[in-house]
Amino acid sequence: MIRTLNIFLIVASLVMLTGVYALKFSIEGTAQERNALIAKISEQEGQLSLLKADWALLTQPGHIEPIIRRHEAVIGVVPVKQEQFGSFESLPMRPAKPDYAGMDALFQAISEGIDPIDAILQLEGIE
């Protein structure tokens, strides 16, 4: 009886020993993996910070202007002049409604066989 119990206890302690060590090593492995990932993340963050800095440098107005100035003649750009600005208010308004009488006269003329455009084309010598 005691002997069986002893064997059982020895086996149990061996199993637990193996289990605990396995757990320990797997945790160490995980920790290592985590450290590697942290190192990788920090390295990539570093690279990202350099790329961001690059981007910030390349999009600075102070960086772009000299490039534009250098190629001014080729791409044909000049600083904008006040006269080049317009506004919607300065556009002429659309006529309130179509010129029905004029259109009626035009359609009637075409149906009667007189095309006003023909006369202009003949006058200009096209055809």
Q: Are 118 and 112 in contact (CB under 8 A)?
A: no
Q: For other proteins, which is the closer residue by CB, 13 or 60?
A: 60
Q: How many whole angstroms separate alpha carbon 118 and alpha carbon 115?
A: 5
Q: For other proteins, which is the closer residue by CB, 63 or 71?
A: 63
Least distance CB 73 / other proteins (angstroms): 20
CA distances from 98 to 21, 102, 108, 109 (A): 93, 9, 17, 18
Least distance CB 8 / other proteins (angstroms): 19
Q: Count Cα atoms within 13 angstroms, Cβ side, for 20.
A: 6
Where along the sequence are the contacts to other proteins (CB under 8 A)? 42, 45-46, 49-50, 52-53, 55-57, 59-63, 65, 79-80, 82-83, 85, 87
Q: For other proteins, which is the closer residue by CB, 32 or 60?
A: 60
